Chains A and B, each alone.
Chain A
Amino acid sequence: MPFNFEKLAPPVFDQMVKEVKPKPTVLKNAVLAFVVGGLICALGQIMFFSYLSMGLPEQDATSATAGTLVFLGALLTGLGWYDTLGKFAGAGSIVPITGFSNSIVASALEFKREGYIFGVGAKMFIIAGPVLVYGFMTSALIGLTYYLVR
């Protein structure tokens, strides 16, 4: 004989689960995300000023800053520290460009044992791939729109 709970509608059961679920520590997460994310951006600003003072034009200084941060994110991932940072900082270490770098390096590193072509080469983009796809698509759409309306 079926038990009564077997007939629970998914939304009803969902509601029961929702009441039991532990809540994320929203305030603590928010503060950590703000501080860590802010610090990474402040570091970027310092780098930008340094590159400017080295005589780089503004456009190149921005690119050099992005490149340096990407390198730092990659290095920390390789050393196995970025995942620890991410555990505490949450979005604070995802949103900055170092997080983009982390998503590429973590995937490349992890699938090294599956070989350099189908492991490192292919799996490098399992998380960053969609970012490039949607980034390039949006960029092309904006370019086309601008071409048509300008």
Chain B
Amino acid sequence: MITPVSPQETMPVVTPKPEKKVGAQTYVMTDPPYIAGAYTLVGPKEGAGPLGAAFHQVLSEPQWQEPSWERAEAKMMTTAVEAAIAAAGWGIPDVDLFLAGDLLNQIMAANISARSIGIPFFGIFGACSTMAQGLALGAMLLDGGFAHRVVTAASSHHHTAERQYRVPNELGTQRPMTAQWTVTGSGAAALAAGQVPGPPAGTGTAETQAYVEGAGGQSTANIRVTHVTVGKIMDLGQKDAANLGPAMAPAAAHTILTHLQDTGRQVSDYDLIVTGDLGQVGLEMAFQLLRSEGTDPGKRLTDCGVLIYNHERQDTHAGGSGCGCSAVVLLGYLLRLLNEGAYHRILFVGTGALFSPTSFQQGESIPGVAHGIVLESQTTMWQH
């Protein structure tokens, strides 16, 4: 028989604040996970862009001898994941979890990729913020002690996105000046928990080692994820699917400002704050919103979508977009700069426009999201 407890006997319940959480939306890694390996591959257009040399692999044609563009996208992700694992000096059985997503209906590229890789898998969707989402979840799972090794990946493909979200590729139509060009590319990062030893010489099979060298994979074990700021959905009523930057700009500004508030940091504490794919219009809107709150990031704020193409020469209008955009710019270009010491600490803010063709046609405004990840180059213990 259960005796009801009288109110006088109960202690006032005080839920303790989660120990790794600071402020409203930010999580601090107690033992920051590190990026043990990364790999990016892009289509020919991205390879011909200003960052072309930073990517690990450039495809000569977007279909990559596959029967469809969708299969090509899945193959890109699979390749990136296997190469990132190889770059970390691991084997596939070493990896506890695989977190990935893309822009296709029901994230099919990630599903197909996970099917062939065979690592326990969580499919994730954050539209173009998927890479940030994957890194955030990966870092939290690792620091929370749920896994030792996690691989996270994101991909997008211009032709698969175009036919799903817009119009058939062969339709003769002009893209508005505000439109962005979906990046054909995939990036994967192999994340390890802080206490997991880095790759001593000779680990991994001869095969994977050869892969690393042959594919130009790099060890980035000194780069750690120190903070994660999980973004809230922001929606200021933008409805134009051909102008997604301004739909995501409020989310980006909100996440940046909240991150600074939560951590008590200044813009100047970062060498770079880089948003995912706001494009030129969205980046300008983010500047305006940040300034309206008294924060002027100046030259320290830029955007992966603005960096990836030469917009005049490559006819990409407002910039690059897609899951692949921030994935390849972060894991290809920015990671190298961190590794080489050009940057010490960056705040990566992956942005996503969470709409579907259905929601757009029904006149729904576009919910925007942005997740912040702090990447810092730190000397690791095992290097000493």
Which residues does A use to contact B, with CB under 8 Å?
3-6, 8-11, 13-14, 16-17, 20-25, 29, 77, 80, 82-87, 89-90, 93-94, 99, 102-103, 105-107, 109-111, 113, 126-127
Known: A21-B281, A83-B171, A86-B172. A5 touches B68 (CB 8 A): no
Q: Are A17 and B243 in contact (CB under 8 A)?
A: yes
The number of inter-chain residue pairs (CB within 8 angstroms) is 111
Stretch at the interface among B87-95, B173-181, B183-191, B342-350: B173-181
Query: Using Cβ atoms and an 8 Å threshold, which residues of chain A touch B167?
Result: 106, 127
Q: How far is the CB of B293 from chain A (nearest CB, A)?
A: 5
Tell me whether chain A's interface is mostly helix, strand or loop, or mixed.
helix
Q: Does B292 contact A (CB under 8 A)?
A: yes
Q: Are A106 and B170 in contact (CB under 8 A)?
A: yes
Q: Does B253 contact A (CB under 8 A)?
A: yes
List, sorted by A's number, 11 A–B pairs whose CB atoms are closer than 8 Å: A5-B292, A5-B293, A10-B237, A11-B237, A13-B238, A17-B285, A22-B317, A84-B172, A86-B171, A106-B171, A111-B168
Mask, B268-308, CB within 8 Å of A = 1, is 00000000000011001100110011000000000000000
Q: How far is the CB of A148 from chain B (nearest CB, A)?
A: 36
Q: Which 6 A-B pairs have the closest CB atoms?
A: A86-B172, A10-B237, A106-B170, A110-B168, A22-B177, A106-B168
A86 to B167 Cα, complex, angstroms:
13
Q: Are B169 and A22 in contact (CB under 8 A)?
A: no
A87 to B177 Cα, complex, angstroms:
12
Q: How far is the CB of B125 from chain A (nearest CB, A)?
A: 22
Query: Using Cβ atoms and an 8 Å threshold, which residues of chain B touch A126?
Result: 168
Q: Does B246 contact A (CB under 8 A)?
A: yes
Q: Are B284 and A102 in contact (CB under 8 A)?
A: no
Partner of B174, one of A22, A29, A102: A29
A121 to B174 Cα, complex, angstroms:
26
Q: Are A24 and B171 in contact (CB under 8 A)?
A: no
Query: Using Cβ atoms and an 8 Å threshold, which residues of chain B touch A107?
Result: 168, 171
A13 to B173 Cα, complex, angstroms:
28
Q: Are A110 and B281 in contact (CB under 8 A)?
A: no
Partner of A13, one of B171, B176, B236, B257: B236
Query: Using Cβ atoms and an 8 Å threshold, which residues of chain A touch B288?
Result: 16, 20
Known: A4-B292, A10-B237, A22-B178. A80 touches B170 (CB 8 A): yes
Q: Are B168 and A109 in contact (CB under 8 A)?
A: yes
A21 to B249 Cα, complex, angstroms:
13
Q: Does B20 contact A (CB under 8 A)?
A: no
Q: Are A8 and B172 in contact (CB under 8 A)?
A: no
Known: A22-B281, A83-B169. A5 touches B246 (CB 8 A): no
Query: Using Cβ atoms and an 8 Å threshold, which residues of chain A touch B236?
Result: 5, 8, 10, 13
Q: Does B67 contact A (CB under 8 A)?
A: yes
Nearest B residue to A109 by beta-carbon distance? B170
Nearest A residue to B295 by beta-carbon distance? A3
Q: Are B250 and A6 in contact (CB under 8 A)?
A: yes
Q: Does B163 contact A (CB under 8 A)?
A: yes
Nearest B residue to A17 by beta-carbon distance? B246
Q: Are B171 and A20 in contact (CB under 8 A)?
A: no
